[in-house]
Structure 1
Amino acid sequence: MPTADRHFSEDASRVLASAQFINTHSQDVFVPQDGVKRAASQILTRMQSVGYSTADWKKHTLTPSVANSQAIEWIFLVDALNFSFWSDQPHCQYSVTLDGKTYQGYWTLCAAVNRALAAGVPVTDAAYYAKASDEELAHVFRGDEGVESMPLLGERIKVLREVGRVLVDKYQGRFTNLLACCEGSAQRLVHLVVSEFACFRDEHQFHGHAVAMYKRAQILVADIWACFEGKGLGRFVDIDSITMFADYRVPQALCHFGALEYSPRLLEFLRESEKVVREVGELNAQQCPPTPGLLPPGHPWEIEIRGNSIWAVECIKRCIEESGTPVNAILLDFYLWDYSKEYSKEMQEIPIHLTRSINY
């Protein structure tokens, strides 16, 4: 195998290999195989009943409805900023109202971008966001009156400047030009993204071992694939090598379906943390177990939750494939994320982990 191809082959298995390593060495998060089997059956039945497919991506009101180069620039901008939307101030949570509908969470980002474009602000143009002032960008991402500011707004502005400069300096200001370099390989694109943009390098240390999650880099590939329904610029010959995207909500859904379990001490910490963070603000400690509050980025519990989520979805995927039904981790992730939003009240007894991070 040529050196370059071998390198990308190794990249293709890095996230999954990391997830398996994390699963093997975890002490407080588990993937019960009997739960995986039940979850696989339930999820497959639900997905088949609604005909869930890549077409569902464009059914969302705020996502691009036309698959073209403008959609790719939109997707890149949004996924560059696709992190940390949870609020510790539920009484005045960041929200954006567009066309008479109020959005929260991830959808606030999409709404803010679409609002700016409708007002003639070229917010998806790298030449614009590479040099736009803090004030201009703060105005683009402003929330409704009386709500908190967008979480990690300063970090998001830094991300825009970083990725904008790279695109302007090396790719004529267009992510589409970088996409063309991947030659139809999802893993080549992930490699290019994490190589070119430091803010996408979702890498950590766990039990003395380097592990990679690449949540935003992988979801960037997945969104392009889904927008184009696997055709044209969104055709990737190795798309099934992409794993799920380890975030806050999908682990909650996996616990709900029984494919992910937390130890009693971790579950107690997460439940107490939700109370503490929302009552007294963001606390932080590095010891294990830490004082209830924010779970620091890179803490073993945070790595265990995210890594085992990737592994759980992989196990679910394998179970479904054994039944003769082809599926990939992307569609499973998309479905679980949508499910967690639709049935949030039914899952409110399952806590999410509260970590402030630009990785997810």
Structure 2
Amino acid sequence: MATFFDISGASKIIHVAKYVSLGNDENFEKAGEELKAFENLPDSEQLANQFLSPPISLSEEDTFNWFFLMDLINFHFYYENGQQYTVTFKNQKFVGSMGLAAAINRWLEVNPHAVKPEILANITKEELQKILVDDSGTDIPMIDERFAFIKSTYPLLIKKHQSFLEAVISLEFSPKNILEYLQNNFPCFCDESDYNGHKIKFHKRAQLLIKDILTNCPESVTKRGFTTDFSYLTAFADYRIPQILCNFGLLLYNDELKNAIKNGFLENSKMEIEIRAFSIIACERLKEITQLPAAQIDTILWKMRRTIGKELDKMHPFHKYYTTAY
């Protein structure tokens, strides 16, 4: 069966890449074994406490609206000084994307209807700043871009469907159909890059949104007679998955790229594209070894990265790049 990887264009740069290459077969086999072992383990208490989900009080429709908002603005969670976006919710600190989830859940305690499209379509920048402010009182990074995404997207969603749930029901919960729907109707979900004339499609946030609803809302899918098969998807190319892939020796960076990462934000777009493309390629190889869907491999790697924590940042610093893609 054809998958999104087949049309992504990621494999086109394998033989022309300058900064990134793949590790050897032995490393991939060993990593595959570790992934399968990790998948069979229950989440540790330390790991489970890092995750946030929509409040159970939300309706089915608003649960889907929660994930839509979350992945619409799920990008770039670090400041120029290297600090991560951090939000305390119910006496616990959450960082990065989970900090965003914490901010949304904090808002829902004040406004139970906060994630409804008609509310978000009319939100002001000042309101959004207060909702997403971090613990230091600083705006979330790239607040202007997040506000622009919300203001441009929700009127389009309302025009086509009253809610995201209504949309995905009409699309039969098909990952391929939903991905095409998001790309064709919401420009801010478009995530494509040009590498020496080759178009590479990543669509990280769109794919993550699909995986989120299929994984977290299976009853909504199955009760309507559909399946939760997300084998069509690739891994979600961002700045954290490459870290853990480097730790396994599956991605190899040359000295020029390593130095660029250490020096701060990447300015060479080819470096950034190679990192993301090779991350997808590496996860496809792990898919062949483990027989697990690439999107599931992504989730396992993401959890493994969180388990290692800050030690990984020291061994393999993540690349920084100004982008709304991830």
TM-score (norm 2): 0.90
1:258 paired residue number: 249
1:107 paired residue number: 98
8 Å CA contact 1:218–1:245 kept in 2: the answer is yes
1:186 paired residue number: 175
2:83 paired with 1:118: no
Q: Aligned pair count? A: 317
2:302 paired with 1:334: no
Aligned counterparts of 2:274 and 2:224: Cα–Cα separation in 1: 35
2:65 maps to amino acid: E
1:83 maps to amino acid: F
1:88 paired residue number: 80
2:266 maps to amino acid: L
What pairs up with 1:1-360 in 2 under 5 angstroms?
13-15=6-8, 18-34=9-25, 35-48=27-40, 50-51=41-42, 61-64=51-54, 66=56, 68-90=60-82, 93-120=84-111, 122-144=113-135, 146-172=136-162, 174-229=163-218, 231-232=222-223, 235-236=226-227, 238-273=229-264, 294-296=265-267, 299-321=269-291, 327-347=292-312, 348-360=314-326
Aligned counterparts of 1:79 and 1:40: Cα–Cα separation in 2: 28
8 Å CA contact 2:10–2:277 kept in 1: the answer is yes
8 Å CA contact 1:246–1:306 kept in 2: the answer is yes
1:227 maps to amino acid: N
Q: Give how far 1:83 is off.
A: 0.5
Single out whichever of 103-112 and 26-35 deviates more from structure 2: 26-35
8 Å CA contact 1:243–1:310 kept in 2: the answer is yes
8 Å CA contact 1:95–1:103 kept in 2: the answer is yes
Aligned counterparts of 2:146 and 2:197: Cα–Cα separation in 1: 30
| RMSD over equivalenced CA pairs, Å | 2.4
1:14-45 deviation line (CA, Å, top 9, x unaligned): 22xx2211323312111124222221122222
Change (3 A) 1:120 1:162: same
1:5 paired residue number: none
Q: Secondary structure at the match of 2:67?
A: helix
1:186-219 deviation line (CA, Å, top 9, x unaligned): 1110010011100011011112111100100100
8 Å CA contact 1:28–1:304 kept in 2: the answer is yes
TM-score (norm 1): 0.81
Aligned counterparts of 2:154 and 2:37: Cα–Cα separation in 1: 43
1:315-356 deviation line (CA, Å, top 9, x unaligned): 0110112xxxxx111221111112212212331221211101
Change (3 A) 1:235 1:295: farther
8 Å CA contact 1:58–1:64 kept in 2: the answer is no
8 Å CA contact 1:94–1:147 kept in 2: the answer is no
Aligned counterparts of 2:224 and 2:142: Cα–Cα separation in 1: 32
- The unaligned stretches of length 5 or more in structure 1 are 1-7, 274-293, 322-326
Aligned counterparts of 2:224 and 2:103: Cα–Cα separation in 1: 26
